[in-house]
Chains A and B, each alone.
Chain A
Amino acid sequence: MLSVPISWYLVLSAILFVIGTSGVLLRRNLIVMFMCVEIMLSAVNLSFIAFSRHYHDLTGHIFAFMVIAVAAAEAGIGLALIINVFRHRQNIDADQMNLIKG
């Protein structure tokens, strides 16, 4: 029997995911919201790798690798967008980005 069963790793992944979700909902700074999205992606990575070890299948590692690659590309583009928003509005408070409000 493994000394740490897989359900514990999945519970840790769930806790990190919920922390990331709450961060996106609670924080107003755009960059901190983006960091919480990265926390969510890391939590899912942990879940992939835990299952990969459980079933002795390297596919989980490859999935996690692709998630990291996508997160890197998304971080670059998202931060470029945030820089653009800051140039126009001079602040990155998500509560004040309400031009689309009817």
Chain B
Amino acid sequence: MAELIFFIVFAIGAIAGSLGVLLARNPINSAISLVVGFFFLAGIYVLLNASFMGMIQVLVYAGAIMVLFIFVLMLLNFRDDEIVDAKIGFHQLVAVLMGVAMLVLLVQTIFSTNFVGSSLVAESVPQGFGEVAGIGTALMTTFVLPFEMAAVLLLTGIVSAVVIAKKRV
């Protein structure tokens, strides 16, 4: 019961935060709305016994990536008359209709799926599921190759971002 209440609150918060990105006129408002949405999404992760991923979502996604977005928005320094205004036209209507159609398709697929093994899976997860120790062990034993490749990818990303953003190479 408590899980249901928390889920509804966090779900409404996440959806509202995401809709705020769409509907806000000023891009800074979009960024702040997305940060709020990510916090609610991290709450949902904790509901799903994914406490480590919830922490990573707040630290990395809301705390580093969105801060980077806000840095760049402040760097570009829009004046009030430079903010691009939304157009309401035929293309926008088609986009909304396509979004609604995709949502209907996805929801119909979800509700017509018989999730295999749902009667075999016990209700409570094993002790320490989704906590730091379990994920750390998995990352260092079964998934050590993706882990190291992610490190190389991040190094490549850092070097590329510096090279691309330089004024004179």
Contact = CB atoms under 8 A, between A and B. Distances in A.
Interface of A: 1-4, 6-12, 14-23, 25-29, 31-32, 34-36, 38-39, 42, 45-46, 49-50, 52-56, 58-59, 61-62, 64-66, 68-77, 79-84, 86-87, 91-93, 95
Contacts of A84: 164-165
Contact of B60 (A72, A79, A80): A72
Contact of A65 (B73, B98, B139): B139
A2 to B, nearest CB: 6
Contacts of B86: 26-28
B102 A46 contact: no
Contact of A10 (B1, B110, B139, B150): B110
A9 B138 contact: no
21 contacts: A2-B3, A3-B4, A12-B14, A15-B103, A27-B22, A31-B73, A32-B30, A35-B21, A42-B57, A46-B44, A49-B45, A49-B48, A49-B53, A53-B49, A56-B125, A56-B129, A59-B138, A61-B52, A74-B157, A92-B76, A95-B87
Interface string B112-123: 010101100111
